[in-house]
Amino acid sequence: MRGETKHRDARETMIAWLAIGVLALTVAGCARPDWIEQTLVTVDVTGAWEGTFTRVGAYGPGGIQLTLQQGGAKVTGQLTMSFSMLPGTRPIEGTVNGDVFRFRTADGRVTGELQVNGDEMSGSGMAPAGEAQYSLRRRP
């Protein structure tokens, strides 16, 4: 009888550890869709883009150009703004999540969150003089 009890206790312990393992795998599996959603890339923004940025409350639009290279969700490139407090070209880094391109300059003074639709993208962000609206088209 004592041998049976020992065998039963070992079996119950093994079943308990197996249940804990299944539970751990289930919890880990639940977190996976968030990771997938964060790395989902449905557009490619590689290339040269040209358009305008309009500062809220300011006179007239300024010109903006982006030259972008994309590898997976990561984007690097150059931003050139005319008619701005920050004229000239500066490096930018960004990401693509789904069909949204987010970028910022190294100093954080220019940012954007743009919805990409084929060869066009538009959205809002911050420029040196405050909030800005962007509208760009990919150059052929």
Same domain for 24 and 66?
Answer: no
Which of these, 32, 39, 37, lies nearest to 95 by C-alpha position?
39
Residue-number span of the structural domain to which 14 is assigned: 1-39
Q: Please check whether residues 132 and 82 belong to one and the same domain.
A: yes
Q: 35 with 83, same domain?
A: no
Q: Do 30 and 52 fall within a single domain?
A: no
Residue 61's φ and ψ, nearest 5 degrees, are -85, 155
Residue 27's pLDDT is what? 61
Count the domains in the chain.
2
Q: Are residues 81 and 112 in the same domain?
A: yes
Domain match, 1 and 69 both: no
pLDDT in tens, 13-36: 778 787 787 766 666 555 554 555
Residues 28, 69 share a domain: no
Query: What pLDDT does residue 9 have?
Result: 73
Mean pLDDT is lowest, of 20-34, 61-75, 119-133, for 20-34
Does residue 61 share a domain with residue 15? no
**Which tens digit of pLDDT belongs to each residue from 90-109?**
999 999 999 999 999 999 99
Using CA atoms, how far residue 95 sits from 29, 50, 124, 129, in Å, is 25, 19, 15, 24
Co-location of 78 and 131 in the same domain: yes
CATH of the domain at 84: 2.40.128.120
Task: Say whether both 31 and 52 belong to one domain.
Answer: no
51 and 117 housed in the same domain: yes
Q: What is the DSSP letter of 56?
A: T
- DSSP structural state of residue 72: T
Q: Are 35 and 53 in the same domain? A: no
Query: Measured between alpha carbons, how far is 108 from 102 in angstroms, rounded to an integer?
Result: 12
